[in-house]
Amino acid sequence: MNRRSTGRSRDKGKKSAIRNSAKKDTRAEIIYPAYCMPDGSVIEEPRYRPAFRTGRSIVPVDQNELIPLPFGSVLFSLPGRFPVFFNFRGEEVIVKKAPGSSQEISAASAFLSSGYLRTYLPAYVKPDSAPPLSLWAYAGVVIKNGAFRVPALRIDEDPRSDAQLHQHDDELHRNIKEMKPLLEGNRLASQLAHCATEYRCLCARNFFLSRYEAPVPTSPACNARCVGCLSKQEESGFCSSQERLSFAPAPEEIAEVMLYHFERVDAAVASFGQGCEGEPLLRGKDLARAIALVREKTPRGTINLNTNGSRPDEVKRLIDAGLDSIRISLNSPTEEYYTSYFRPQGYSYGDVIRSIDIALDAGIFVSINLFFLPGFTDMESEVDSLFAFLEKFPVSMIQARNLNIDPDLYLDSIGFRESKPLGIRSLLSMLFARFPKMKIGYYNPPKEKFQ
């Protein structure tokens, strides 16, 4: 994570916002814009009305889009980016300095905790010299009744990564210590301990707390060069979110970790393909061997693959070995946008489609990991493309995930051609109505919940 590119705003900012609002009790129901001071504090701005952004367009704030800032979310300043508000005549205003101050301010944003989908971006303008933002999903933020509000919705009620569940570090460290002699010499188990403590990966923490879904990173290599790769960046101007796995665990190590989890957890899930690795299909033969080793010992647990779907033959190999479900990532069902973002190396969008076809024909649970960006995913042309895709490929589930990237970098990289945005909430309502049998959520379900 590039600490320089994004500044955290902690309690100090919240207290500042509450203090300012307390002076205006008669206007407590008014929604105030927010901005960041150089010290990271978040301040409300009573002289203007708030604005959000969708795609490249600045829009007014709709109260119906707002929810309280979810527990576990983080506030960020956006360096080099000046907030855009509306004046009381409805005109856009760029604000560069705090009232009565010579200090330059920055736009404020929120990174939402797991299970929440943002519906609007923060509104700002930036000069060409502004640094690219680190790999987070930036949501707009405003202040109402002295508390932060964000344009978002809970997309999945599954609690597996709720921040409230991960406040017990003593239990976590105790369980890691107790596990070591049981999985002695297993490099993958040691990697998960590192992720759980160093990166506070909620999925890795669940493994040691014996619940829900266990991550199973296996591949140090990748055959895509995603613009927003979380684990490897080269000459991008910002840091990756975490270091990529540096070794290839043996099939026996992989199977041992999965069995450890399945034996201790009801309705357990173990997933290949994590943010800290490359593409697991590059290790198809070894993963098939690991799956076979697990299934020789137990029918328990759901074996899932998170993948870019680049190698259809390896997808079939894993299904034949006993894979229960697959999640294939897409930023867009439009081939041009897909290719511009993933920048595939040695495969094509057509290979991804063939992998989806193979999985559907095999009858396993098929999810699309669809990266959402307000103003792009919900624009008319993309919605038409998505609906055509889903009519042809009736997947079991869409996992709606916030795209972790600087919005401008993303839109510039894919050759964005804007059309009318329908709104994220409207898109979801249309999906529910048009495809009532398809799940929409955030997490890989266990096989006990496939139906």
Determine the pLDDT at residue 7: 36
CA neighbor of 107 nearest in space, from 75, 71, 151: 75
| Tens digit of pLDDT at every position of the chain (451 positions) | 223 333 333 333 333 333 333 344 445 579 999 999 999 899 999 999 999 999 999 999 999 999 999 999 999 999 999 999 999 999 999 999 998 888 999 999 999 999 999 999 999 999 988 989 999 999 999 999 999 999 999 999 988 777 777 777 899 999 999 999 999 999 999 999 999 998 888 889 999 999 999 999 999 999 999 998 876 666 656 665 667 778 899 999 999 999 999 999 999 999 999 878 889 999 999 999 999 999 999 999 999 999 999 999 999 999 999 999 999 999 999 999 999 999 999 999 999 999 999 999 999 999 999 999 999 999 999 999 999 999 999 999 999 999 999 999 999 999 999 999 999 999 999 999 999 999 999 999 999 999 7
- CATH number attached to the domain at 163-449: 3.20.20.70
Q: Which residues pair with 305 in a beta bridge?
A: 272, 326
Strands lying side by side in the sheet with 121-122 = 57-60, 51-54, 121-122
Determine the pLDDT at residue 16: 31
The token pair that represents 89 in the structure block: 């005549």
Count CB atoms within 10 A of the CB of residue 248: 17
C-alpha–C-alpha distance, residues 297 and 34, integer Å: 56
Determine the pLDDT at residue 141: 98
Domains of the chain by residue range:
7-154, 163-449
Q: How many CA within 13 A on the CB side of residue 9?
A: 28
Determine the pLDDT at residue 246: 84
Residues whose CB falls within 8 Å of the CB of residue 237, separated by 6 or more in sequence, listed in order: 131, 132
Determine the pLDDT at residue 10: 34
H-assigned helices in 241-345: 251-264, 284-297, 312-321, 335-342
Determine the pLDDT at residue 8: 36
